[in-house]
Structure 1
Amino acid sequence: MKKTALLAVAAALTTVSAGANAAVYSTTFQNLTGNFLISGFGVDTAGATDADLDSKFTVSLTNVNGKVTIEVPIAADYKVYAKAGSTSFIDFDGVVGPDLGVAYAANTLIGSGPLAVTNTSTKLVEFDFNGVGTTSLKLDGVSQAIPYSTGSITVSGAGATALFGSLLGLGSFLSGPVSGTVDILYTVSQDRIDITIDEANLIGGKFENALLTLDNMPAGFIPGKGAGNRDAIIDGTFASNGVIYAVSEPASMALLGLGMAGLAAVRRRKAA
């Protein structure tokens, strides 16, 4: 193969690499810690089914410190990964030490499927919690007044469950494929975020059911842990650090295809 042809392949690879990078969207947690209280997800009801639940619950994060940066993806099919070294833990029993969570020793696939974020035109969200009076929120680089109480987004079911399942350590409580959407409303105050999650349009494994399971669990359901409080409240502390990133599957396949083409060109040149 001629040198000019090899250069053309290299240029094509470079172009697709740039495109693939543009299709990689990261959510970064930098030493995010605080207290959490989850409420409004129902109570222990014998024989309860999805129809008995309102599919809505509230998550209040207080005494928050740390940073979160979210690159909002364009709608597409993605594979979602947790980066090596990422950790997320929650402690809900009052005894020092994490009760649920995960630490990723290697880059790990945590979900895949259609990922879309609607009801917003924002492409970059930056939360910075550094004590009362210093909290900041930027949308596309523009600082917002605190408290900020107009946050509203809709996330596809596959994207929401991959993200929340990993962060809350609840992935093992979810089963089966999901579709539909999750509506999220949020308010940012000084060292506090209040989030309302509505899963009414989510089809498949719902976090409300996972939270009910956790609240109503018998002793030993989680090895070494006692029974749930059965009070429709789960609270404790949380700590998240690391990166979750979504990679567009078509971009990945295009990059792989051109990479193989480049290798084939090199082989042909050597054979000649």
Structure 2
Amino acid sequence: MKKSVMFAAVATALTAASSASFAAGSAYSTTFTNLTGNFVISGFGTDTAGATLPDADKSFSVTLSQVNGKVTIEVPVASEYKFVAKAGSQMLVDFDGVPGPDLGAAYGANTVIGSGPLSVTNTSTKLVEFDFGNFNGAGSTSLKLDGVSQALPYTTGNITVSGAGATTLFGSLFGLSSFLSGPVSGTVDIDYTLSDDTIVIDIDETNLVGGSFENILLALDNMAAGQFGPFAAGNRNGIIDGNFFTNGVITAVPEPTSMALIGLGLAGLAAVRRRKAA
């Protein structure tokens, strides 16, 4: 088979596969199964004269401890996505010391919580499975990457996520969208380490353009009583802590225009190659 003919055949096959994927409504899911624990967020500002001010490094850390439950992440390919919280999903955060959730949402029906470009780079992993079973003696904690078990503690986890996708998804997920203003682009670098009942996540927004989660944390830590809904005044100490509960499924569904453009591009390449072969 001539190279040009072979290329046309491959392009045609890819076009068909792309069309079939779009027709089937393929989606990537992040599944939380009764994930609970405590959290401490720190390093997002400088404590100066009783008020947390922005620092220069544009990074902060999230430490999740006494974690129980499971998380399964299907890593999506780069594309434009619509993010959907499946019916029954709950993402609840309590950070003010008063019993009861302060941030998050519970979804009684399938709900679109955002949309935009999403890409995950700096990794070849397609499936991530966290199973925190060691806390309270319920079992052993494990981490699998593409089905392969990793030794604990695991200290080399790192990914890069598109800024627009990260802020759209997590801002909507935790009810923080009102803190984000203006277009967001660039990328967010995320490193993580995992032990039996703890995961430490280091977030670097150096390459993020526009609104950021560090700005959100600063606003929460410096807010006056009643400034944002019923929340009490922030502690202004550069630390936000509390507990969390997450259960349900968030899907990233490719937008039709994105899949259609892929199909059209591949079909065009195939047509050009066919003409040259003739």
When normalised by structure 1's length, the TM-score is 0.81
Would you say 1:143 and 2:149 are equivalent positions?
A: yes
Aligned mates of 1:44, 1:85 — CA distance in 2: 39
Aligned mates of 2:46, 2:53 — CA distance in 1: 12
Aligned mates of 1:45, 1:22 — CA distance in 2: 51
Give how far 1:225 is off.
2.6
Aligned mates of 2:108, 2:119 — CA distance in 1: 28
Q: Mark the runs of 5 or more structure 2 residues left unpaired by the alignment.
A: 1-15, 261-278
Contact 2:222–2:233 (Cα < 8 Å) also in 1: yes
Aligned mates of 1:55, 1:90 — CA distance in 2: 23
Where does 1:163-174 land on structure 2 (aligned, <5 Å)?
Answer: 163-174=169-180
Cα distance change, pair 143–213 in 1 and its aligned pair in 2 (3 A)? same
Where does 1:160-199 land on structure 2 (aligned, <5 Å)?
Answer: 160-199=166-205
Contact 2:45–2:53 (Cα < 8 Å) also in 1: no
Q: Deviations over 1:160-187 (max 9, x none)?
A: 1123213433222112221110000000
Would you say 1:224 and 2:230 are equivalent positions?
A: yes
Where does 1:24-39 land on structure 2 (aligned, <5 Å)?
Answer: 24-39=27-42
Aligned mates of 2:157, 2:169 — CA distance in 1: 18
Where does 1:45-64 land on structure 2 (aligned, <5 Å)?
Answer: 52-64=55-67
Q: Secondary structure at the match of 1:126?
A: strand
Cα distance change, pair 252–30 in 1 and its aligned pair in 2 (3 A)? farther
- Specify which of 106, 130, 134 is matched with residue 127 of structure 1: 130
Would you say 1:80 and 2:83 are equivalent positions?
A: yes
Cα distance change, pair 224–250 in 1 and its aligned pair in 2 (3 A)? closer
Aligned mates of 1:157, 1:76 — CA distance in 2: 13
Give how far 1:130 is off.
1.2
Give how far 1:93 is off.
1.4
Percent identity for Structure 1 against Structure 2: 69
Where does 1:96-107 land on structure 2 (aligned, <5 Å)?
Answer: 96-107=99-110
Aligned mates of 1:242, 1:35 — CA distance in 2: 19
Aligned mates of 1:111, 1:54 — CA distance in 2: 28
Contact 1:66–1:128 (Cα < 8 Å) also in 2: yes
Give how far 1:84 is off.
2.0
Aligned mates of 2:29, 2:19 — CA distance in 1: 19
Q: Mark the runs of 5 or more structure 1 residues left unpaired by the alignment.
A: 1-12, 255-272
Would you say 1:212 and 2:218 are equivalent positions?
A: yes
Letter matched to residue 226 of structure 1: A
For the aligned residue pairs, the C-alpha RMSD in angstroms reads 2.6
2:112 — aligned with what?
109
When normalised by structure 2's length, the TM-score is 0.80
Contact 2:113–2:173 (Cα < 8 Å) also in 1: no
Give how far 1:15 is off.
8.7
Q: Secondary structure at the match of 2:98?
A: coil
Letter matched to residue 104 of structure 2: G
Q: Secondary structure at the match of 2:216?
A: helix
- Give the stretch that moved more between structures: 159-168 or 70-79: 159-168
Contact 2:52–2:237 (Cα < 8 Å) also in 1: no
Aligned mates of 1:138, 1:172 — CA distance in 2: 35
